Structure 1
Amino acid sequence: MIQIENVSKTFNRKGVTTEALKNVSLDIKEGEIYGIVGFSGAGKSTLLRTINHLTTPTSGEVIVDGKHLSKANSKEIREIKKDIGMIFQHFNLLNSKTVFKNVAMPLILSGTPKEEVEKRVNELLDFVGLKDKAQNYPDELSGGQKQRIGIARALATQPKILLCDEATSALDPETTASILSLLKRVNEEYNITILLITHEMSVVREICDKVAIMENGEVIESGSVFDIFSNPSTRTGVKFVNTVMHSEVPDFVLRLLSDEKKRHIYRLNFIADSAGKPILSQLSKRYDVEASVLFGNITELQRTPFGNLIVEFIGEADEIEKVKAFLTEQEVLYSEVTRNASEY
């Protein structure tokens, strides 16, 4: 649905050159909810703007639904944009227009017949749960209601793609959850591909299928949400995952490792079926080793159980080697926690 191929973007302002994007490549499939995460200045919004052609890449190619944006003329670009809806952080509603008129605006501008406009707008207001607010004005609505209107407006022209630029960052946690649930419905019921820009990893965990992490204009890691959350491969990825998984090594464990005594402390990752097995109990019975759980949690990622435990094994080195072989056999990922382990 969206292919981003080696895209770079350089801005030159007052003699200062800024590389906003550096050789970015992504492949977003039809029907996916794809999250792009990064700290401020990572290049997320610039990348988003290359997709709806508000920014032209310095090099590289953006392909939307099989159409190369760099090769399209003005008329073709307008047609491509009709298939792209946009949801904004601060709603971008017209305060002088009613809720009905705000949702209807894209249809009115495209010359849609009046009776079709009325039918479509009423359907969308019903879908977002605000049909009774049709004659209200934006200033009379809560932040969550305003964003629901923004979503209805973005859906008015029946787009194939929905771009969300920090769509929940101005909302409280409860309202955020309701908006994410609505976006999930949009994806499932309308089969709309959603590209979601955010700096909140909790948003990604909640609804995304895949995620890319950006830093300094580059994609530093990408993959399924499960893979990135269960095994982040970069320091920035670790930081983002820890904001919701709380998987950092606690200070008291690091203090234990500072003891003169040799301690065998490991991080264990239990995935899917292994998360429900009494593995620690089994290994204590099989081998001359005691297992002491120091820290951990079990959560769910994309409907798959995922457990993260920090465990100390007490026993002779040869018995601990047998334990490690047993963990591998049971498909439990493990890594030794060392003195300098301050992160996931």
Structure 2
Amino acid sequence: MIEFHQVSKVFESNGNKVEALKNINLTVEKGDIFGVIGFSGAGKSTLIRTVNLLEYPTSGKVIVEGKNLAKLSQYEIREAKKDIGMVFQHFNLLNSKTVFHNVAMPLLLSGYNKKAIENQVYETLRFVGLEEKAKNYPDQLSGGQKQRVGIARALTTNPSILLCDEATSALDPETTKSILNLLKRINEEYNITILMITHEMKVIKEICNRVAVMEDGQIIETGNVYNVFAHPKTDTTRNFVKSVIRDEVPKSVYQLFKEKDHFSRIFKIEFFGADSGQPIVSKTAKIYHVEINVLFGNITELQGIPLGNLIVELIGDNYEIRRAIEFIINKDIEVKEVFEDGSEHRVDIERVVGNDLHG
């Protein structure tokens, strides 16, 4: 477990102070794959580096496996760090050393005997799929292979926590997917807690079970991945979610407001979990005197749970449209009305009944 209690970090340079972290409170549970996302300068890297004291907090406490590392002696810190592996964005490999010696480095520094080092290094290289590359040098490897070496090096001391600092940012999409699958295996087979920072929401979507969103040195939103994707609370989070899940109304839809020669309203119907399997559109069209024109649709999967939305035009008289929307909302499905200026307003069932669809 990793706990941040009122953690702040201030950098000083030439008399100027920069507050990189501002009273961070956050808990990463054992077994989590916890993602921290934010734009450049949000404080993500500083946050993750306080866990293994690459950066000391200016104030507050970072508790790792029940210990406040900042309060330990230098010897105790070295021992505690053996339980924390770290994977870097640009691999941080020694080009003059073979893959074997790069992976062995933490064990060599800890004074392990030659036989123990050899056994542990080859076991770890087998796990990451690079046993046959043991005698190669980093310059002979692809980017994905270099990152696998970095992961092997981080695993070689059998840590309980793995820190990933933008571990896939320097990789192409296909290699990123393979590295994320490897990290997921590490979490599942070794029960290693993973704390990863990224600026890519697709990484969060692919692998994490919980996420925190950072902005200007602060945590602005946190929760399990499904809830954060389904119900983002801040504009920053919504922008990140939109980079993975398209839910904006296409511009061509707005043209309908100008061209239509019939009475209609446009709605966004949002589906969560089991709702996605309901034939709600066909049912509504059969029961009520409305035509339903599907303008846009999208569905994705988060942690095995579907999440999607439909943008539909309901054509008919106002009374029948109200009844149709009331029927959909009563199925516990969220509905938003879309207006010509691009705004969206959640439709409240009481206002539907009260003859007003505007949220």
Range class of TM-score, shorter chain: over 0.9
Who is 1:22 aligned against? 22
Question: Is residue 52–residue 81 contact of structure 2 (8 Å, CA) maintained in 1?
Answer: yes
TM-score by length of 1: 0.95
Alpha carbons of structure 1 residues 340 and 12: separation in structure 2 relative to 1, 3 Å: farther
Distance 2:250 2:44 in 1: 32
User: How far off is 1:316 after superposition?
Assistant: 3.0
State the partner residue of 1:164: 164
State the alpha-carbon separation in 2 of the partners of residues 143 and 26 from structure 1: 32
CA distance in 2, matches of 1:160, 1:200: 25
Unmatched runs of 5 consecutive residues or more in structure 1: none
Establish whether residue 122 from structure 1 lines up as the match of residue 122 from structure 2. yes
CA RMSD of aligned residues (A): 1.8
Identity of aligned residues (%): 59
Q: Would you say 1:45 and 2:45 are equivalent positions?
A: yes
CA distance in 1, matches of 2:265, 2:109: 67
Give the corresponding residue for 2:326.
Answer: 325
Write the distance in 1 (CA, Å) between the matches of 2:60 and 2:315.
55
The one-letter amino acid of 1:267's match is K
Structure 2 equivalent of residue 92 of structure 1? 92
Distance 2:149 2:171 in 1: 14
Q: Tell me how far 1:259 sits from its aligned partner.
A: 6.8
| 1:186-212 deviations in Å (ceiling 9; x for gaps) | 110100000111111111111010111
On the 8 A contact 2:264/2:316 being kept in 1, the answer is: no
Task: Indicate the residue corresponding to 2:149 in structure 1.
Answer: 149
Note the C-alpha offset of 1:339: 3.6
Q: Classify the secondary structure of the residue corresponding to 2:320.
A: helix
1:102-154, CA deviations, whole angstroms, 9 ceiling, x for partnerless residues? 11110111011211111111111111111111111111111100000100000
Question: Which residue does 2:336 correspond to in 1?
Answer: 335
CA distance in 1 between counterparts of 2:127 and 2:163 reads 19
- Are the aligned partners of 1:249 and 1:343 in contact in 2 as well (CA < 8 Å)? no
Tell me what 2:313 maps to.
312
Give 3-state SS (helix, strand or coil) of 2:112's partner.
coil
Residues 1:265 and 2:266 aligned together:
yes
Instruction: Report the AA paired with residue 220 of structure 2.
Output: I
Matches within 5 A, 1:218-233: 218-233=218-233
**Cα distance in 2 between the residues matched to 1:316 and 1:27:** 52
Give the match for residue 57 of structure 1: 57
Please report how far the alpha carbon of residue 224 of structure 1 lies from its aligned counterpart in structure 2 after TM superposition. 1.1
- In 2, distance between residues paired with 1:12 and 1:309? 50
Q: CA deviation at 1:75?
A: 2.5
Q: Distance in 1 between matches of 2:238 and 2:266?
A: 20
Number of corresponding residues = 344
After the TM superposition, list the runs of 4 or more consecutive aligned residues in structure 1 that deviate by more than 4 angstroms.
257-263
Paired residue type of 2:41: G
Aligned to 2:249: 249
- CA–CA separation in structure 2 for the residues paired with 1:28 and 1:284: 47
